[in-house]
A and B are shown apart, each in its own frame.
Chain A
Amino acid sequence: MSSLTNEIDTICAISSPSGEGAISIIRASGEDCLHIMQKIFKPYRKDFSDIKSRFLYTGRIFDFQTESYVDEAVCVFIKGPDSYTGEDMFEIYPHGGVFNTKYILEIILKSGARLAHNGEFTKRAYLNDKINLIKAEAILEIIKANSLKTLVIANNELSGLLEKKINKIKEDYIYLLASVEALIDFPEEEFENINADFLKKAQDSAWLIGGLIESYENYELNKRGFSVVIAGAPNVGKSSILNRLVDKKRAIVSDMPGTTRDYIEENLFLSNKPVKIIDTAGLRETDNSIENEGIKGSYSQIKNADAVLYVFDVNALEENEILNDILLEEKKDNLIPVINKLDTIGGKDLRIIETKVMRKFKFTNNPVFISAKTGEGFEAMKKTLRDIILKVESVVKDDVGITTLRQKNLLVKSVNFLESAKEKFKEGGPLELISIDMRDGINALDEIVGGVTNEDVLDVLFKEFCIGK
């Protein structure tokens, strides 16, 4: 069967998440939409022939097999090509039960539609020229967004800002290519400016691309969420801090040092950011091999962390000498010394303790005093953490950036060609070879926006969508 028939048949899927909810969404796209909808949907106080595109109608779902009504629902018909997929579509919003939703889907399938594959609605939108590759990727990123920042970046991608930026770079490339071609094809003309201009313009483009490539790291960082590691000597109360932060008993707490032998992760939101809090095994010299494994893990967690809560027992400041200097140096800007068990010290002068700690460890940030037991000082600790998050985030200034590794790889490929062209130009290399580099560089940019790409990319892309999108 040719794909031509494959792709104009009518597809259908449940678009809302599985499980019980208030309202479900069932979606269909393809030639038979109107016909199928007529078969299963009986609007109140109206003939079906009165139904107009893009209006909501309330009515009943009719099961033609048992000749009975099975639900009451709102339904909309969207005439192509002004729909998401570019084809005729309908959507049904039945009550959000698991069985009724699935049953309605069954009825639709029996009326001539077939179940959609992963991402098939979006694939059709792409095939029908409603969206390009970069927009398809943006839709996926929006679905997966886990913070305001990632959402804004993905949305800027969807609304075409990223494409505009890439196209602008492409225009500059084309300008450079044109300069080279001019030198080749019009050898007897006098082009005074081209030689000086070329390197400068090429450098500008390289910087622009470099900026976009860097934006990927920032986007990834944002997407991954911000990771905060709780570290310190055994039995200083790390797990208690985690439990209080996430407001539940997640980690097992005991008076026995070394209770936490593996790390434990929890998520919470701090100033609209997903933050991953990781409790680690206490750092100390030990002969226990299982515990040692845990300690090794702790070091690697610290190394990968965006921020570290380094916890002391106010009564045993001296025991915290395990953290090695290299790690300390690397993390010092994002490390908060946390002095716990404030509830146990009675009237001791905090300033003396602070001075003692700072002199000994040369921390960048001032320590915060808390009590995991009473919750005292937690708001101050969260505020310090928030400040660090904002500081890290402020590196991402521009909200227009790339979002996928595919885009990054193509940009790198493109800029490498550009650099190679630049190098050759500087050395007075053959112009026709410079031209080839420039053309390859342009092709790589073209591929980002979705010129003619190899189909594997499309398959991977479209498989990442969940059914119904």
Chain B
Amino acid sequence: MESRSNSFDVIVVGAGHAGIEASLAPAKMGLNVAVITINLDNIGQMSCNPAIGGLAKGHLVREIDALGGEMGKAIDKTGIQFRTLNTKKGPAVRSSRAQADMFRYKTYMKKALESAENLTIIQSMVDSLIVKNGKAAGVVLWTGEELYAGAVILTTGTFLRGLVHIGLFNYNAGRAGDFASNKLSLSLLENGLEIGRLKTGTTPRLDGRTIDFSELEEQKGEDDFIPFSIADKNITNEISCYITYTNKNTHNIILNDLDKSPLYCGVIKGVGPRYCPSIEDKVVRFKDKERHQIFLERESLDSVEFYPNGLSTSLPLDTQLKFLRSIKGLEKVKIMRPGYAIEYDYVLPDQLRHSLETKKIDGLFLAGQINGTSGYEEAAAQGIIAGINAALKLKGEKPLILRRDEAYIGVLIDDLITLGTSEPYRMFTSRAEYRLLLREDNADFRLCEFGKMVGLLDEERYFIYKEKLAGFNELILFLKTYEKGKYYDLLKRPDFYLENIAPDLDKEAKQSDKDIINRVQLFVKYEGYIARQKEEIYRLKKFDDFKLESDMDFNEIPGLSLEVVEKLNKIKPQTIAEASRISGITPAAVSILLMRCRK
């Protein structure tokens, strides 16, 4: 396809975890894409924890993979320790987590972008949007050039007016070591988008040569870990992580220096995440807790840097060193990079549609931290949806919108849009009402057809999925019929597994792989509960059928409080079901709407 060098189908601003998926998706769907990043050496940079997955996040990674995304493959190949969390709890809430070699991960991702067809990679900064007649038409670079496109996806992370804090010292940066993007927010404001400010933080990075691991608890990887991507057969564990704890002394040092914390003397205005508090927050808020757990995680095989998970802080550098050295194993530790907090602009996500396109500006899509989320996986999940939907829009097709009972991705996006967020939003399994249905093990069963339908999922992965589905159905059928379904019924009991009730059968079934046996067992165990959840879904789906008119003025409906009317008019829910999930919309308000739109 011949095109002018400054004209594309899709422009993606940012090449972090959201930007990567957002640019790969439309490129693989055959569109001409440009991705613009401030620093080409930091594509897929892990600015915080060198890890992919974790509770509910592992689910997201597998869902991204099932749609045809890159994240799962990248971590399978560059991970250095793989584990399953919650093995002692129910199978539906088990999650996969991997330590990444952050340098190799970056290299892998850069290569993935470079080897994609139709993808132009540009190092530059975007200063403003070009909007014509309410439609996104391109971007203006800081050097003055204009680039044009039919759709623009912003994945700016923490870069919009990013401000780094270390103690009372602060400076402008997108993250430590990179420029901040100081003008783009203004352009968004001028185009009528509402902007807020959030805060997040990271830990100091430690010199592994100065850590004494000999007395610390070791946490090994699992070799029988099921790879994130269905395309991958195996993974390699290279390292262990280590566990240590803070103590009274650590807490006293922190409390003594609170007046030097930008969080506690009011310098930081942005709202931080409650679930990932800085160590100073934890010490202040949970006074009774005598110790906090710290995981020491190696960042790369090619580096001695360690990430002390659980010690995010914005205290001054000397306080950081003092409290670190009060911790067992870290008595002689040296800091290579200080921990810091960062404040940044985000766009209030209730201004989005479920396709991740803004309601105000046609053709402008947003994904990742710019929507108020936190985490690489959450970012990548939005990235792939924004990328797919930008492409579908340009092709004149209907957007891909995953429902809450279909994917964690659906829960994530629906939450953002209907609840908004005033703190960085992280995925939890408890956010998913239907988490028995939304398991890691069945992500491909749930989503591969969607990936195929939109034209993103490759033949290789689609074929593997089809094979697994066939194997699954075969084994289910076998169990249901073999000896009148005796084993099928036995498997329904909580502690019964094929390997202990029928070792012979288990061996025989080895032809279908371990993964399939696992899936079948989960399916059988949860069947009853899943039926209960499906009933609930069916009941609620009826609410989905109650459509609200798009130009409905909620002021005209008597009985709704002012607050409710304001929210409804702002978010403009399309169905009763959506309205019912908006925060602050009371059940009473929902029943009023229900009565009003019932025929």
Contact = CB atoms under 8 A, between A and B. Distances in A.
Nearest to B85: A187
Interface stretch (A16-24, A40-48, A219-227, A431-439): A431-439
Interface string A409-445: 0000000000000000000011111011001000000
Contacts of B560: 129
Contact of A186 (B55, B589, B595): B55
A302 B407 CA distance: 63
Contact of B89 (A86, A127, A184): A184
A129 B585 CA distance: 12
A187 B85 CA distance: 7
A189 B89 contact: no
Contact of A129 (B91, B295, B436, B588): B588
Interface string A1-33: 011100110000000000000000000000000
B575 to A, nearest CB: 14
Contacts of B589: 129
B429 interface: yes
Given A3-B596, A129-B589, A185-B56, A432 B89 contact: yes
B293 interface: yes
Contacts of B599: 2-3
A128 B561 CA distance: 9
B494 A3 contact: no
B141 interface: no
Interface string B86-97: 100111110000
A129 B592 contact: yes
Contact of A188 (B295, B559, B561): B295
A188 B587 contact: no
Interface in A302-327: none
**A interface residue count range (under 10 / 10 to 19 / 20 to 34 / 35 or more):** 35 or more
Contacts of A451: 587, 590-591
Between B429, B560, B595, the greatest number of chain A beta carbons within 10 A of the residue's beta carbon is seen for: B595
Nearest to B539: A454
A436 B532 contact: yes
B587 A431 contact: no
B463 interface: no
A81 interface: yes
A460 interface: no
B593 to A, nearest CB: 10
Contact of A450 (B529, B558, B588): B588
Contacts of B598: 3
B580 interface: yes
B133 interface: no
Nearest to A81: B558
Contact of B430 (A87, A128, A181, A452): A181
B56 A432 contact: no
A452 B55 contact: no
A130 B590 CA distance: 14
B438 to A, nearest CB: 11
Interface string A227-255: 00000000000000000000000000000
Interface in A122-139: 127-130, 132
Contacts of B91: 430
Contact of A185 (B90, B429, B529, B596): B429
B55 A432 contact: no
A431 B90 contact: yes
Contacts of A130: 559
B535 to A, nearest CB: 11
B90 A430 contact: yes
Interface string A174-195: 0000000101111111100000
18 contacts: A80-B558, A81-B559, A87-B558, A127-B592, A128-B592, A129-B560, A129-B588, A129-B589, A129-B592, A181-B429, A187-B55, A189-B293, A430-B91, A432-B90, A432-B92, A432-B429, A435-B430, A453-B591
The 4 closest A-B pairs by CB, nearest first: A430-B90, A128-B559, A451-B587, A181-B430
